Amino acid sequence: MPAAPAVPTVLQVLPALVSGGVERGTLEIADAVIRAGGRALVASAGGPLVAPLEALGARHVTLPLTRKNPLGILRNAGRLAALIRAERVGVIHARSRAPAWSALLAARRTSAHFVTTYHGTYNENFPGKRWYNSVMARGERVIAISNFIAGHIREHHRTEPCRIRVIPRGVDTALFDPALVTPARLEALRAAWALPGGRPVIMLPGRLTRWKGQGVLVEAMARVPDAVAVLVGGGAAHRRELEARIAALGLQDRVLLAGHAEDMPAALLLADVVVHASTDPEAFGRTVIEAQAMARPVIAADLGAPRETVQQGVTGWRVTPGDPAALAAQLRQVLDLPAAARAGIGARARAHVLQAYTTAAMQAATLDLYRELA
């Protein structure tokens, strides 16, 4: 069998390397490029993830890519073009809009191929915003992180289907594996959160913001007796609003605002049910597949990409978004199931993730795309 074509030098561009799914994906692809024998460069304004990136063997170039004004975009285009020429970059891969405009201009001035990843639906709340967003659909290849996003790209930008590649985000199955979580990790987290014994645990992972639906779950908890809800994620502004509503409903002993969790595999394994309650469509929703990878039953809002990752009644359940009564009814139904039935749903969910939504699969598909262009 002939060897796979070489991976070109790849330059990924994004505003900064702070935290989040876009940043995590950047490191995952840099790692894949290096392990495939290529050279990985990342340009951003920097941040705490620079050190982990460089530990992989990638090179980071600090540029002011957070700038959104036209002059800043033009100057960054010149800087990127110079970098492309100096490092013989074959592919420049843009992951955010302002850097993507600079990358597009740089690619036109050089021989580099231009790739984008369309990470979200992006709002269009003022004139010209759709045009500004359109740069994410101008790549020679446009990576859509779900079929939902692929449909959005076709509808909003009329992008030719031949340029769109659906490459779902993936979960690191070497990290999110129930067999690898020790009892000591579980007990340490249970003690840190002071979880009461003998009560079912309902968990909603995600930053505390109104559209992520923590408020929907809080309202639902008033209709789900005995269970405890754990909201895992940071966010100061919405936290105060949630605390006030929890107090008004008298749920202080049954709803815990746990903040950020360093050990998410253990956190998810503590849950009897994991909830996704977003009221706006998720472009993908990585917490859903992380929970499924941990063999947890998932109840998801029936909109956006979770319609792809949660198979109704097979690997989980979907409910009407923003409807506390519907969520509560589904929670009661799931918690009333025999433990073996819930375990069966969890096992099917994990098997589905291993088949379709792994980091390794996402990396391999992206490398194939780079090779296709090169």
**CATH number of 204's domain:** 3.40.50.2000
Helical segments of 259-338, H only? 264-269, 286-293, 306-309, 324-336
Spatial contact of 289 and 300, defined as CB atoms under 8 Å apart: no
Measured CA to CA, the distance from residue 308 to residue 60 in angstroms comes to: 35
Q: How many residues are there in the chain?
A: 374
Under the banding of pLDDT at 50, 70 and 90, the label for residue 15 is: very high
Q: Is the pTM of this model over 0.95?
A: no
- pLDDT tens across 129-169, in order? 999 999 999 999 999 999 999 999 999 999 999 999 999 99
Do the domain assignments include residue 206? yes
- pLDDT tens across 197-248, in order? 889 999 999 999 999 999 999 999 999 999 999 999 988 888 999 999 999 9
Q: Output phi, psi for 279, to 5 deg.
A: -100, -10
In this structure, the answer to whether residues 288 and 342 fall within a common structural domain is yes
In this structure, the answer to whether residues 273 and 221 fall within a common structural domain is yes
Measured CA to CA, the distance from residue 352 to residue 374 in angstroms comes to: 32
In this structure, the answer to whether residues 44 and 118 fall within a common structural domain is yes
Measured CA to CA, the distance from residue 174 to residue 187 in angstroms comes to: 21
In this structure, the answer to whether residues 124 and 246 fall within a common structural domain is no
360 alpha carbon, distance to own chain's centre: 15
Burial class of residue 158 (count of CB atoms within 10 Å of its CB; 0-12, 13-18, 19+):
exposed
Predicted confidence (pLDDT) at residue 115 exceeds the cutoff of 60 = yes
Number of structural domains (the chain) is: 2
Which residue has 């969790």 as its token pair?
261
CA proximity to 41, closest of 21, 63, 67: 63
For residue 221, give its domain range.
178-356
Supply the mean pLDDT for the chain.
95
| Residue 161 burial (CB count, 10 A) | 8
Q: Output phi, psi for 6, to 5 deg.
A: -65, 150
Predicted confidence (pLDDT) at residue 340 exceeds the cutoff of 80 = yes
Mean pLDDT of 172-193: 95
Three-state DSSP class for residue 168 = coil
In this structure, the answer to whether residues 159 and 244 fall within a common structural domain is no
Radius of gyration of the chain measured on its C-alpha atoms: 22
In this structure, the answer to whether residues 333 and 264 fall within a common structural domain is yes
Mean pLDDT of 31-48: 97
In this structure, the answer to whether residues 339 and 264 fall within a common structural domain is yes
In this structure, the answer to whether residues 156 and 34 fall within a common structural domain is yes
Q: Output phi, psi for 127, to 5 deg.
A: -55, 140
The reported pLDDT for the residue numbered 2 is 52
CA distances from 263 to 50, 207, 209, 232, 248 (A): 21, 15, 21, 11, 31
Strands of 298-301's sheet in order across? 255-259, 228-232, 201-205, 273-276, 298-301, 317-319
In this structure, the answer to whether residues 228 and 343 fall within a common structural domain is yes
Strands of 59-62's sheet in order across? 59-62, 40-44, 10-13, 91-94, 113-118, 141-144, 164-166
In this structure, the answer to whether residues 252 and 132 fall within a common structural domain is no
In this structure, the answer to whether residues 261 and 153 fall within a common structural domain is no
In this structure, the answer to whether residues 120 and 228 fall within a common structural domain is no
Q: Please name the amino acid found at residue 220.
A: A
Do the domain assignments include residue 3? no
The reported pLDDT for the residue numbered 176 is 97
Helical segments of 128-195, H only? 129-133, 147-157, 183-193
